[in-house]
Amino acid sequence: MHATAIVPIKRFDRAKSRLSDSAAAPHRPAIAKAMLADVLLGLRECRLVDRIVVVSGEPEARKVAEDGGAEFIDDPDDRGHSEAAMIGIADAIEHGAECVVLAPGDTPLLEGTEVDRELGAQAPGVAVVPDRHGTGTNGLILAPPDVIEPSFGPDSRARHLALAKEAGARCRIATIPSMALDLDTGDDLREMATSLDFDRARAPATAKVLKTFLAESP
């Protein structure tokens, strides 16, 4: 099933607030910007993604989107991840999309082949992509795009399953290993650095920022 990919993005200076008390705090905007570039790099590899749309109130995200082959929709109110996702969904419907992939901007390890595999298996309904802890949602595949209204945040996996049930929509768990690790905490940061050490070809922009940050760290 062909889809439009939607990437909602917070303003870079507000992103990754849970890193504020860590040594990574001064690097949060650079990390957020680099991760977005790598997410777009992965999405460009998807054969079944026809359009990529970034929704953000962050001025610098426009250039990252354009450089990454994506369209940009301004979100001046910047009310939150779910609200930005809905802006992207409305745009996708306006452009005739029958399916959307909601991809977060903080999963820079994303591999297009894995997303394609799940899109190829998608029937009308909802596919929930869990985070590595199994309780959150790192992505959604929605066919049609408005089959449910996204509700991201803590414990959102169960919430999205319940929303699909309420809508009478078919629902499944989609396993996309490269989207399981999102960067929110210091533990995530260390896990990301370890993953990039094993495969230096993945997430080049993020790897570069983390290498600089880690080199400066005591």
Q: Quick: pLDDT tens for 23-47.
A: 556 678 898 999 999 999 999 999 9
Please state whether the peptide bond connecting residue 108 to the residue before it is cis, i.e. omega within 30 degrees of 0: no
pLDDT in tens, 98-114: 999 999 999 999 999 99
Q: Rounded to whole angstroms, how far apart are CA atoms 43 and 32?
A: 17
CA distances from 93 to 3, 77, 88 (A): 11, 21, 9
Question: In the CATH hierarchy, which fold is given to the domain comprising 3-216?
Answer: Spore Coat Polysaccharide Biosynthesis Protein SpsA; Chain A (3.90.550)
Per domain, the residue ranges of the chain are 3-216
Which residues, listed in sequence order, are joined to residue 71 by a DSSP beta bridge? 53
Q: How far, in Å, CA of 74 to CA of 89, rounded?
A: 14
Pairing of strands 49-56, 3-9: parallel
pTM of the entire predicted model: 0.91
Q: pLDDT per residue over 49-102, tens digit each?
A: 999 999 999 999 999 999 999 999 999 998 899 999 999 999 999 999 999 999
